[in-house]
Amino acid sequence: MSKSEQKKKFSVFDHVLVPKHEIVPDPEVGKILEELKVSRDKLPKMLPNDPAAKEIGAKKGDVVRIYRKGPGGEAVYYRLVA
């Protein structure tokens, strides 16, 4: 391993088992909440110090979209950072 590679920041997303996370832009959140028929505070939670949340820069109150692979193909999950 070269020196520059060693310096490169460790990323949880490099691991095969860590699914893709992204912050949902604010205007989209309302639509999602309507679709799921829940209020923001009833969404499943994730911690602000969750390694994946930290890496994508999600702040308290953000909604995160996670693309998870399951037996029935790719499934979309939502987490409220709280």
Q: How far apart are CA 49 and CA 45, in angstroms?
A: 12
81: contact with other proteins by CB under 8 A: no
CA distances from 82 to 33, 38, 42, 48, 69 (A): 16, 16, 11, 6, 24
Nearer to other proteins, 3 or 37 (CB): 37
44: contact with other proteins by CB under 8 A: yes
76: contact with other proteins by CB under 8 A: yes
59: contact with other proteins by CB under 8 A: no
Q: Which helix (H) or strand (E) holds 52?
A: helix 51-56
29: contact with other proteins by CB under 8 A: no
Looking up tokens 């995160």 gives 64
18: contact with other proteins by CB under 8 A: no
User: Binding residues for other proteins, per CB under 8 A?
Assistant: 36-39, 42-44, 70-72, 75-78
